[in-house]
């Protein structure tokens, strides 16, 4: 297996003098480029392109219209925000099954605050704060149970999935709670430069996620923990604390998604976000993030989300049922993972 | 090339070459294996040992050359074909299934069955017989393999080989995962096999083992056979090293230096204990001093290092760095105080293999390369390049994934990590495990240099010679106790072993 060219320590090898510190950092070979994020995302761009072409051919009048494209993006936005948090958790080698339920719970908690008697005195920003706090809190609980309680992430978040949904039902008494605050609804349905605020939120969360992963010590440590948890621990990284914050971020993203869905549906209900966790995981994996952790990109996830949203749209445009959609989704997931296994193993032998 | 051939060879390999995507792994390998002999194949990492094994096991097909089996030219297109011929292979990463019992593992793929139903009692009977042949009748066929030690898993793997009609077993560094007693046992089993007429190809880079077990030696270097059929009895070690590395190895260990009189005590370990593993361990290390822990596997040496480092939580005692006590069981505290550990298992405990060299080098000090949490990768690469130059790390490219480096260079990544972090205490667990002979001397020189720069160093190694050669002071350990603390120059390998044997018996 690990046969390396034995040039270690021999005197003949002169180091290539890479002392040209003025040039910008990377000196990547073509192989590195292709195996890097650009190369991996290339396949996703192509997949998306194919879907767009199929859409444009099968529904030429409607598909390519600006309003339809905005519809696609709007539909992608909520699951997209959840997927960004999910990406970070999965890169670190974890999983969060609870995001959909937490989103439902946060939506219910926020609307209840708004329909209480004292709602009149509250500014609608409080609703947002409550949704975010519920998401963050649930995420923190996940994180603490996983990191410090040493419960497997799958089980801990499965428990949260069940419990958060149940709590949401208790709070909502199984009713749909209308959001009375007009300003809140109006704000979340604003458009800025002709683009819905929901899409902007997704874009901002994705950008922040990208920066967090690629440009900060937090992101570096996330990748290291996913790549080799024990090595990260022995290098002096506080793995437990870091893990806790990762789930907190995933929960916060679910809170943001709750605010978004309140804006879109104008109501909070315990059924919000059902099965979103699976859609998010699918988008993350299709986007090229390894489920075992250590490798993944935010850009890939954004593409993954867009691919599924576009697929849904193409099917709706062609009046195909959601059942057919589900089958197609399944096939795409399998194909994506198969392709990933073929091409995403670049760091092989030197 | 020396050759001794009286008997007809069981296996004969001539001029075999193999390339992978343009990289020539084998450039012409010759090898004759006689029936019932132990044929040792020696070579540094990268010499082509693994590729050769896989070629014989039917995993790779050679590009050129000829393989003959019992005098006839053969092709070995698949692993099944190899077994069909009578060649079994025991890989380093044992291919046993943890969730199955010993008997189930042995007959995996060729279950004894009738009409699709496995005959468990018959399989158990045959398993008992095989285990008895291997001198391990104490193992039950119904034991789950996951509960066995590495040594016993090897026995299962061997029993599986014997369950086929086998004439040759290839063993890929079987002693790498065993301790002293288990190695003796392994040698015993190997003798049993050869007595029964089965030939063994024994791959290793431990020269001392060859003396104990081998009949003849083949040496590989850079994918070529440099010598074959050397009789073990009259080939001197220096000759073997020359054949393996292509040069003479005169002085492996750099000379010790005298520690200045007033050198401050940096690390102070006081009656440290970990219930059931070791207790009452006390020692001090001064700046510039190298302390070596000598003892057998299982004596508690690695655990002592890990506990000093906080990776295990001490039950008693204290660790002080420059007079300040550390919080128990906290790696973060240890690292902040300036302790660095290079762990025993470099790949699974030390490195993020997929990530580039620079990420691995700055792993412990990323926050220093960041402003308000934002990374400055240019600074990271520059710091890494400085270390690459200082440590002669190859390839000299900070962006190369750690996975693609040789063992010696991976070790240098870990040293670089702590140099960048700025440690005062370095704990080195098996610093040359998996490092080939040629690169070892380099690592030794580096360690000595780090000490001379004022670091306090503690090393653990299963090679007693290494501990004695590097350390200024040696702590002899057995059964979790320090038996004796003495200057390295006052004791030799036999002295240590004598102490250890007495200590273990007591």
Q: Where are the domains positioned within chain B?
A: 1-86+165-250, 96-164, 265-505
Q: What's the pLDDT score for residue A23?
A: 37
CA distance B462 to B448: 19
Each residue of B106-160: pLDDT tens digit?
888 778 877 777 778 888 999 999 998 888 888 999 998 888 888 888 889 888 8
Instruction: Tell the residue number behind the tokens 């194909």, with chain if given.
Output: A335
Fold entry, domain B1-86+165-250: Rossmann fold (3.40.50)
Nearest to B385 among A18, A24, A230 (CB): A18
CA distance A32 to A26: 10
CA distance A178 to A272: 13
Q: What's the pLDDT score for residue A39?
A: 61
Instruction: Tell the residue number behind the tokens 């090679």, with chain if given.
Output: B463
CA distance A90 to A226: 8
Burial class (CB in 10 A: 0-12, 13-18, 19+), A70: middle
The tokens for A219 are 């992101």
B220 touches chain A (CB under 8 A): no
| H/E stretch holding B431 | none
Q: Where are the domains positioned within chain A?
A: 38-343
Largest CA distance in chain A: 82
Is the predicted pLDDT of residue A8 greater than 60, yes or no? no
Residues of A in contact with B421 (CB under 8 A): 236
Q: Which residue of B has its CA nearest to A6?
A: B46
Residues of A in contact with B336 (CB under 8 A): 236
Looking at CA atoms only, how far is residue A103 from chain B in angstroms?
29
CA distance B232 to B213: 9
B222 — alpha (psi -120 to 50), left (phi > 0) or beta?
left
3-class state of residue B213 by DSSP: helix
Beta bridge partners of B67: B13, B74
B120 touches chain A (CB under 8 A): no
B43 close to A1: Cβ distance less than 8 angstroms:
no
Task: Identify the CA nearest to A110 among candidates A81, A77, A133.
Answer: A133
Each residue of A305-323: pLDDT tens digit?
999 999 989 988 888 888 8
Nearest to B46 among A4, A216, A238 (CB): A4
B15 close to B28: Cβ distance less than 8 angstroms:
yes
Sign of the alpha-carbon torsion through B284, B285, B291, B297: positive
pTM: 0.73
- Provide φ and ψ at A15, rounded to 5°: -70, 135
CA distance A311 to B58: 45
The average pLDDT across B49-72 equals 90
CA distance B466 to A315: 69
B55 close to B18: Cβ distance less than 8 angstroms:
yes
B15 close to B65: Cβ distance less than 8 angstroms:
yes
Each residue of B433-445: pLDDT tens digit?
878 777 888 899 8
Residues of A in contact with B388 (CB under 8 A): 15
Residues of B in contact with A229 (CB under 8 A): none
Range in A159-168, A339-348, B377-386, B448-457 with the lowest mean pLDDT: A339-348
The average pLDDT across A256-262 equals 95
Residues 251 through 310 of chain A touching chain B, CB cutoff 8 Å:
294-295
Q: E strands along A202-333, which residues?
A: 267-268
* Dihedral angle of Cα B245, B250, B252, B255, to the nearest 10 degrees: -160
3-class state of residue B433 by DSSP: coil
Highest mean pLDDT among A28-32, A115-119, A215-219, B234-238: A215-219
Residues of A in contact with B430 (CB under 8 A): none
* Architecture of the domain spanning A38-343: Orthogonal Bundle (1.10)
The average pLDDT across B450-473 equals 89
Looking at CA atoms only, how far is residue A239 from chain B in angstroms?
10
The average pLDDT across A75-85 equals 96
SS3 per residue for B473-490:
EEEEEECCEEEEEEEHHH
Each residue of A198-248: pLDDT tens digit?
999 999 999 999 999 999 999 999 999 999 999 999 999 999 999 999 999
A235 touches chain B (CB under 8 A): yes
What is each CA distance from B148 to A3, B97, B139, B157, in whole angstroms?
29, 11, 9, 12
Nearest to B406 among A8, A18, A28 (CB): A8
The average pLDDT across B42-70 equals 87
Looking at CA atoms only, how far is residue B48 from chain A in angstroms?
7
CB contact under 8 A, A26 and B399: yes
Residues of B in contact with A22 (CB under 8 A): none
CB contact under 8 A, A4 and B375: no
Equal fold, B1-86+165-250 vs B265-505: yes
* Architecture of the domain spanning B265-505: 3-Layer(aba) Sandwich (3.40)
Residues of B in contact with A2 (CB under 8 A): 45, 50
Mean pLDDT (chain A, rounded) = 84
Is the predicted pLDDT of residue A349 greater than 50, yes or no? no
A10 touches chain B (CB under 8 A): yes
Mean pLDDT (chain B, rounded) = 87
Confidence band for A124, pLDDT divided at 50, 70 and 90 = confident
Residues 372 through 431 of chain B touching chain A, CB cutoff 8 Å:
373-375, 377-378, 381-382, 385, 388-389, 392, 394-397, 399-401, 403-406, 408-409, 417, 421
Looking at CA atoms only, how far is residue A297 from chain B in angstroms?
14
Q: Could you tell me which residue, A107 or B136, shows the higher pLDDT? A: A107
The average pLDDT across B169-174 equals 89
A107 close to A261: Cβ distance less than 8 angstroms:
yes
* Dihedral angle of Cα B365, B368, B373, B378, to the nearest 10 degrees: -100
CA distance B370 to B363: 12
Is the predicted pLDDT of residue B161 greater than 50, yes or no? yes
């Amino acid at each position: 297996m690990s046969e390396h060219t034995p040039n270690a320590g021999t005197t003949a090898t002169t180091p290539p003098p890479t002392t040209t510190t003025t040039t910008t950092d990377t000196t990547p070979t073509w192989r590195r480029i292709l195996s890097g994020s650009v190369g991996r995302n290339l396949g996703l761009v192509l997949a998306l392109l194919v879907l767009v072409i199929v859409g444009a051919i099968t529904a030429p009048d409607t598909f390519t219209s600006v309003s339809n494209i905005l519809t696609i993006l709007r539909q992608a936005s909520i699951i997209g925000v959840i997927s960004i948090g999910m990406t970070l958790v999965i890169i670190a080698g974890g999983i969060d099954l609870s995001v959909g339920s937490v989103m439902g719970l946060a939506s219910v908690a926020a609307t209840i605050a708004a329909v209480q008697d004292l709602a009149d005195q509250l500014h609608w920003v409080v609703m947002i704060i409550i949704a975010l706090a519920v998401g963050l809190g649930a995420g923190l609980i996940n994180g603490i149970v996983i990191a410090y309680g040493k419960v497997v992430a799958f089980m801990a978040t499965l428990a949260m999935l069940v419990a958060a949904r149940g709590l949401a039902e208790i709070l909502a008494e199984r009713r749909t709670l209308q959001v009375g605050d007009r300003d809140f609804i109006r704000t979340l349905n604003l458009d800025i430069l002709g683009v819905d605020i929901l899409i902007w939120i997704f874009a901002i969360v994705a950008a922040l996620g990208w920066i967090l992963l690629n440009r900060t010590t937090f992101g570096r440590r996330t990748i290291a923990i996913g790549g080799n948890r024990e090595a990260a621990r022995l290098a002096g990284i506080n793995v437990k604390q870091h893990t806790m914050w990762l789930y907190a971020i995933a929960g916060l993203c679910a809170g943001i998604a709750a605010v978004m869905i309140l804006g879109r549906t104008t109501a909070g209900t315990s059924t919000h976000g059902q099965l979103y966790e699976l859609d998010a995981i699918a988008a993350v994996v299709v986007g090229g993030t390894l489920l075992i952790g250590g490798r993944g990109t935010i850009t890939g996830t954004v593409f993954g989300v867009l691919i599924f949203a576009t697929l849904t749209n193409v099917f709706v445009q062609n009046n195909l049922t959601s059942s057919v959609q589900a089958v197609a989704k399944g096939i795409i997931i399998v194909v994506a993972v198969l392709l990933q296994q073929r091409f995403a193993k670049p760091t092989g032998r030197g | 090339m020396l050759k001794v051939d009286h008997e007809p060879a069981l296996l004969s390999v001539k001029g075999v070459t193999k390339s992978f995507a343009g990289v020539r792994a084998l450039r012409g390998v010759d090898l004759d294996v006689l029936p019932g002999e132990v044929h040792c194949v020696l070579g540094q990492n990268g010499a082509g040992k693994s590729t050769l094994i896989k070629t014989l096991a039917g995993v790779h097909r050679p590009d050129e050359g000829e393989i003959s089996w019992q005098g006839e030219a053969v092709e070995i297109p698949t692993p099944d074909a190899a077994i069909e011929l009578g060649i079994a292979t025991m890989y380093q990463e044992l291919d046993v299934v943890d969730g199955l019992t010993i008997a189930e593992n042995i007959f995996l793929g060729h279950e004894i069955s009738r009409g699709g139903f496995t005959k468990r009692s018959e399989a158990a009977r045959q398993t008992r017989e095989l285990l008895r042949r291997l001198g391990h009748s104490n193992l039950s066929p119904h034991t789950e393999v996951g509960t066995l030690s590495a040594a016993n898993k090897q026995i299962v793997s061997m029993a599986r080989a014997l369950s086929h009609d086998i004439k040759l077993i290839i063993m890929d560094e079987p002693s790498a995962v065993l301790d002293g007693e288990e190695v003796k046992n392994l040698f015993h089993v190997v003798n049993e096999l050869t007595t029964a007429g089965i030939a063994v190809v024994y791959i290793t880079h431990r020269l001392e083992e060859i003396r104990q077990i081998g009949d003849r030696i083949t040496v590989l270097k850079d994918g070529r056979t440099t010598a074959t059929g050397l009789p073990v009895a009259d080939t001197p070690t220096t000759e073997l090293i020359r054949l393996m590395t292509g040069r003479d190895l005169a002085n492996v260990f750099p000379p010790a230096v005298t520690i200045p009189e007033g050198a401050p005590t940096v690390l102070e370990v006081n009656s440290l204990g970990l219930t059931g593993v070791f207790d009452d361990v006390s020692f001090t290390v001064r700046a510039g001093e190298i302390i070596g822990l000598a003892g057998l596997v299982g004596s508690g040496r690695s655990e002592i290092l890990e506990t000093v480092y906080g990776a295990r939580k001490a039950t008693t005692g204290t660790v002080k760095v420059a007079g300040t006590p550390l919080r128990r069981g906290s790696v973060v505290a240890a690292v902040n105080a300036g302790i660095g550990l290079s762990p025993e298992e470099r790949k699974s405990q030390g490195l993020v293999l997929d990530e580039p060299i620079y990420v691995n080098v700055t792993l412990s000090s990323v926050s220093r390369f960041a402003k308000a949490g934002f990374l400055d990768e240019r600074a990271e690469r520059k710091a890494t390049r400085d270390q690459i130059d200082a440590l002669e790390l190859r390839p000299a490219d900070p962006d190369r994934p750690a996975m693609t480096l040789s063992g010696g260079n991976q070790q240098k990544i870990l040293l670089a990590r702590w140099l960048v972090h700025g440690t005062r205490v370095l704990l080195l667990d098996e610093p040359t495990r998996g490092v080939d002979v040629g690169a070892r001397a380099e690592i030794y020189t580096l360690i000595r240099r780090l000490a001379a720069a004022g670091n306090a160093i503690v090393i653990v190694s299963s090679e007693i010679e290494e501990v004695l050669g590097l350390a200024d002071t040696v702590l002899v350990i057995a059964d979790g106790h320090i038996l004796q603390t003495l200057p390295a120059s006052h004791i030799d390998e036999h002295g240590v072993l004598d102490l250890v044997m007495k200590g273990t018996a007591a």
